[in-house]
């Protein structure tokens, strides 16, 4: 089972919107609405920001939104802020022998 | 919100067993999945295993022959054992709560495999 594919880096200016893609296959992202997203700041544990493609846990800013089309899930950060600088990872349930596969990770830079 | 804290040795010799414990506070073991995830610079995040509060388990097949996970509800702890470690098992190990997504995480513990 290969890792889900994410762009290595995405950048944007404060106030802009950016989108991070997460591309899998018909055995994972394309097959299930069980995609989650995590934000990880340096030296910290990942933080859940979306689950089941587009649901936000309590306390997570509504500037984070998610969607899915075919084998690709997307995370959009609206109104980009300096505090959004972090690494972002997607994760999907998969029908393979490994039930969960993570993305390769995307570093977000606020210019 | 549940708090989780990993504990265990930071250095393990090659071919030996890596043993980590996660202590849970502020919540119940019941009706929860308890999961271990690790992170390496090279391979990123990797799901290792989970244990349901009933004791049922599921393992990453790539580690299945070497890994076991157990639960001690009386101590509010769950544990990970990884046998016959190599340098490739050097990683930051996280304990988490959840089965399909993970909202509560420990701070992580760095385990280095080296002689």
Q: How many angstroms away from the CA of B86 is the closest CA of chain A? A: 21
- Mean pLDDT, chain B, whole residue set: 95
Residue with tokens 């029908």: A95
A40-68 confidence digits (pLDDT tens): 999 999 999 999 999 999 999 999 999 99
Chain B hits for A36, Cβ within 8 Å:
100-102
Give the CA distances from residue A74 to residues A87, A101, B105, in Å, rounded to whole numbers and listed in that order: 15, 16, 23
Cβ distance B102 to A46 less than 8 Å, yes or no, reads: yes
* A110 strand-pairing partners: A12
Tokens of A52: 């089941």
Cβ distance B44 to A57 less than 8 Å, yes or no, reads: no
Q: Which A residues, 59 through 88, put their C-beta within 8 Å of a C-beta on chain B? A: none
Contacts (Cβ under 8 Å, ≥6 apart) of A6: A20, A21, A22, A23, A88, A89, A90, A103, A104, A105, A106
Higher-confidence residue of A104 and A2: namely A104
B75-99 confidence digits (pLDDT tens): 999 999 999 999 999 999 999 999 8
């Amino acid at each position: 089972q290969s890792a889900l594919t994410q762009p290595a880096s995405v950048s944007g200016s404060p106030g802009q919107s950016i989108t991070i893609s997460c591309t899998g296959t018909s055995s994972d992202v394309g097959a299930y609405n069980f995609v989650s997203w995590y934000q990880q700041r340096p030296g910290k544990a990942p933080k859940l920001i979306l689950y089941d493609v587009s649901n936000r846990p309590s306390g997570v800013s509504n500037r984070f939104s998610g969607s899915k089309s075919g084998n690709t899930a997307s995370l959009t950060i609206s109104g980009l802020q300096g505090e959004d600088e972090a690494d972002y990872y997607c994760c999907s349930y998969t029908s393979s022998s490994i039930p969960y596969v993570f993305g390769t990770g995307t570093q977000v830079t606020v210019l | 919100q549940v708090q989780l804290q990993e504990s265990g040795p930071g250095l393990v010799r090659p071919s030996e067993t890596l043993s980590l414990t996660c202590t849970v506070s502020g919540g119940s073991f019941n009706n929860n999945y308890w999961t271990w995830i690790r992170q390496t610079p090279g391979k990123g995040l990797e799901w290792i295993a989970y244990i349901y509060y009933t004791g049922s388990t599921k393992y990453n097949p790539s580690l299945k022959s070497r890994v076991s996970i157990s639960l001690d509800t009386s101590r509010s702890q769950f544990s990970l054992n990884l046998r016959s470690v190599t340098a490739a098992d050097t990683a930051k190990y996280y304990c988490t709560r959840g089965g399909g997504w993970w909202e509560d995480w420990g701070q992580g513990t760095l385990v280095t495999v080296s002689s």
